[in-house]
A and B are shown apart, each in its own frame.
Chain A
Amino acid sequence: MTTSEPYVLNIGPQHPSTHGVFRIRVVMDGEKIQDIDMIVGYLHRSMEKLAEERTYTQNIPFTDRADYLAAMSGNLGLCLAAERLAAVEVPDRASHLRVIFAELQRIASHAMANGTLVSDAGAWQTPLLYMFREREKILDLFEMTCGARLTTNYMRIGGVAFEPPPEFWPALDELVNELPERIDEYAQLVQENEIFVARTRNIGIISPEDAINGSLVGPALRGSGVPWDLRKTEPYCGYDNFEFEVPVGTVGDVYDRFMVRLEETRQSTKIIQQAIDSISDGPHKTDIPLALRPEPGEVYGRVEGPRGELGFYLVSDGSPAPYRFHIRAPSLINLSLLRDMARGASLSDAVVTLGSIDIVVGEIDR
């Protein structure tokens, strides 16, 4: 008698395709996945508890360490929420700088996401390293401006911490000029690759209804064909003054999510160009009290991070520290549908699907 016995495969916490210390227990039947169970928390630092002990400004570094691939977006989200809570005005130049840095961060983060996705599909790191080329330049720009490459801690409540140095602007110009060409190169590298297309097309399909109901956000939601982008629907930092498009997928598969990200980097380049053109002189920061004491109340501020809606739910009791500090982590919530997608898929497809959701474990665990 022969029967196939299901067995448990432990993917992670240390595994090349989990992008960090993320663990999935998979019940497999041969190469097919029967069931999965996510086990997260290896990087849990209880940020939300720690934040209740610190002032709003002191909490900004936590956002660097939550989504460590998109620190600028995290900074921006917290600052916007705190500004709304404390009713702080932001100078126009600061808003433009924030847009520039947030969009640069989006390009860097999408480059990482797309590169690792192709690596998960089995390309031996070549596309990843090509996409790192621009990411390196962006991180150089960050380093020039605030001295750090990943954990930038750049934005402040009421503006940004520093004015960029003089050599920043020509370097940025150069980067923005060469970016469209480079993005075309990546598109060609991957789009015209039959193997990559065969590995990603019609894999891990999420229907628009499921995506909305499963609280998916960002490229995962847009890849499924739902045109939803907070920069358009709830404009902040003057995004309504910039012209850009929201790319939306047609099928909802891995390939769509990849292409949406790639197209978003193109649009981000456009936004940066417009921001450079329209930036004006002025202060980069408004002065706020050292210990900001917002009125008692609550606010849910959110930005469109590279991974989607990055929300900060702040509750103030009038003291300098937030009474409750909650991060709505898109990486975690985008995983809600992973189990449905992975069931019945083969191991190789599940790995690619996980890569296309683009998780950052620092943000999942916080």
Chain B
Amino acid sequence: MPSGPNQLQSKIVADALNSAIPGVVKTLTDDWVEVEAQQIEECLLWLRDSEEFDAAQLSNLCAVDYHDYFMVVYHLQSLDLNHQIVIKVRTQDHSDPIIPSAVSVYKGALLQERETYDLMGIKFENHPDMRRLFLWDGFPGHPLRKDFLGIGGGRTSGLNRFPFENESDPVRVINQDNRVDDSDSQESPSSWGGA
């Protein structure tokens, strides 16, 4: 049984997806369908335009850190048919995850993908404006990762000190490549990037 009240049976979604784009579904549970990472854009486009599913709106996009890999979760919904579809994507590696962007399909993914990149460090390919959203450029690390602050592998991720407290901080050493640059360097619109 799917957990959401109006959620579609993921089996139906998976079958339809597989018949449209062969071999795209990787795993599937009651709740969600996991699809091939490189084909997510295609998948979403098909779901959006199909008569049967009509996933017109991207309701929510976020990512979950499972220590070894990330799951990016797409909550789609149809406003006509009043149902929800949950699609997931697993990233290949944990250190530098990259998946295709959904902005070309859903404009609403614009800020959500930037947020995910900022806090989780997942890069979205072909996103028109892939910059950090909340934190400043040069912030060391991505705070929502379970191994933020270098306490890798452990279950707890306590933020025991702020990254910039003093120079001799070991945390500082880990992130020494990233320089803190909070200056207003983007005076000209051309350097803002994006469409």
Contact = CB atoms under 8 A, between A and B. Distances in A.
B189 A27 contact: yes
Interface in B38-62: 56-60, 62
A353 B79 CA distance: 25
> B57, B109, B143: which has the most chain A beta carbons within 10 Å?
B57
A49 B159 contact: yes
A298 interface: yes
B171 to A, nearest CB: 15
A8 B133 CA distance: 20
Interface string A323-363: 11010100011011100000000000000000000000000
Given A300-B4, A311-B75, A332-B115, A49 B107 contact: no
B36 interface: no
B3 A84 contact: yes
A46 B143 contact: yes
Nearest to A235: B5
Interface of B: 3-6, 31, 56-60, 62, 64-65, 73, 75, 79, 82, 84, 86, 106-112, 115, 119, 132-136, 143-144, 148, 156-159, 186-187, 189, 192
Interface of A: 6, 8, 25, 27, 34-35, 37, 40-41, 44, 46, 48-49, 52-53, 84, 210, 212-216, 226, 228, 233-234, 297-300, 302, 309, 311, 313, 315, 323-324, 326, 328, 332-333, 335-337, 365-366
17 contacts: A6-B189, A35-B189, A37-B189, A40-B134, A41-B133, A44-B135, A49-B159, A215-B58, A215-B108, A297-B3, A300-B75, A300-B86, A326-B62, A328-B59, A333-B111, A335-B111, A336-B111
Given A41-B135, A213-B108, A311-B75, 15 more contacts: A8-B187, A40-B133, A41-B132, A41-B136, A49-B148, A53-B158, A226-B79, A299-B3, A311-B59, A315-B64, A324-B64, A332-B111, A332-B115, A335-B111, A336-B108
